[in-house]
Amino acid sequence: MVLRIFGFSIAVTIVSIIVAFVYGSWEAVALVVILGILEVSLSFDNAVINATVLRRMSEFWQKIFLTIGIIIAVFGMRLVFPLVIVWAASGLGPVAALDLALNPPADDAPYFPNGDPSYETLITDAHPQIAAFGGMFLLMLFLGFIFEEREHTWLSWIEKPLQKAGKLDMLAVVVAGVLLVLTAEFLAEDEKISTVMVSGVLGMVTYIAVNGLGNLFHIPGEDEDEEASSGPSDLAKATGKAGFFLFLYLEVLDASFSFDGVIGAFAITADPIIIALGLGFIGAMFVRSLTVFLVRKGTLDDYVYLEHGAHWAIGALATILLVSIGVHINEIITGLVGVVLIGLSFWSSVRRNKRIEAEGGTAEVELEKA
């Protein structure tokens, strides 16, 4: 099963390394491998969250996510997205922007001898608005989870009070709005305040719109056990419009997660080909495979706190993105925070399962009795 799920990703990795060697010798290979590891470490929480949504989708929409979705993830976010930023920031055409990316100034200087900014400089300058959009989208996702009453709580001492507070209508929007204003006021440069505000509001609106469309086409009985259902999850599978909007939600979510990886990649290299190979063909493919593995194995049902840990990691990532508008944060810290939180939630889940077994039951029995 493991080979079947990860086999294609391994094959793509081998091909990507060969292409990198032909493109730029061993130095390019090293950069591609580093970027692939960076993407997987930054996006492990993304895989867990993707799995919580993917298991609600029908087999057809799961295949769409794993085919068309991966094309969007690899080419759209890891290759085209940085070029779009350069087009918008510099006014250059697509061909000129690509030429700028492939021909950086000597010695990685931020400007060409004639004073024109480099590709990397343009991307870096666009970081505040990118971080504001992605940070607010992810923050809304985190707040929506943490304010909603749930059967299980991981960090009960803080999750239970937050769930009670969440009964206040639109609390997530209020909290996110206040944090956006504080971020723009105290972290953004004066000339970037309005840009950060607009980008942040767009991030909030995007989340509300996509999440709202998903709820609009919510399947009756989706959250109830279905005796006739099969597979790792007992959830009714979303089809038609419901499946489409879940797919749309996943793509926006994946894009928000990829912002920090794309920006972080420029601390390593500004070459768009190397970034596409490392972040896209290696990193994004393995994240997709990991998502499928979690769904097929029913891991989220067996380890009930994993979803909580992933959402806390999302909250941490959202905070890091917003803080990075005014303060540089090392990418290693960004990756480690998510890994540590998910690791702790997995450990808590294992302890919970052992405790239930010691009491003569199983996690599944407890869930049925609850």
What are 133-181's pLDDT values in tens digits? 888 988 998 999 899 988 889 989 999 999 999 888 889 999 999 999 9
Residues 6+ apart with CB under 8 A from 235: 55, 56, 222, 223, 226, 229
Q: What's the CA angle centered on 178, arms 172 and 182, to 5 degrees? A: 145
> What are the tens digits of pLDDT across the range 266-284?
667 767 788 888 888 888 8
> What are the tens digits of pLDDT across the range 177-207?
999 999 999 999 988 899 999 999 998 998 8
Higher pLDDT, 4 or 107: 4
The CA distance from 262 to 265, in Å, is 5
Please provide the average confidence, as pLDDT, over all residues in the chain: 79
| Residue-level pLDDT at 370 | 43
CB 49 within 8 A of CB 314: yes
Residues 6+ apart with CB under 8 A from 91: none
CB 274 within 8 A of CB 32: yes
Q: Decide if pLDDT at 366 tops 60.
A: no
Residues 6+ apart with CB under 8 A from 310: 45, 48, 49, 52, 341, 342, 345
The CA distance from 90 to 81, in Å, is 14
Give the pLDDT band of residue 228 (cuts 50, 70, 90).
very low
> What are the tens digits of pLDDT across the range 301-331?
888 898 899 889 889 988 988 998 988 887 6
Give the pLDDT band of residue 361 (cuts 50, 70, 90).
low
**What is the dihedral angle through the alpha carbons of 321, 322, 327, 329, rounded to the nearest 10 degrees?**
-20
What's at 237, amino acid-wise? K
pTM: 0.76
The CA distance from 298 to 233, in Å, is 7
Cα 150–chain centre separation? 23
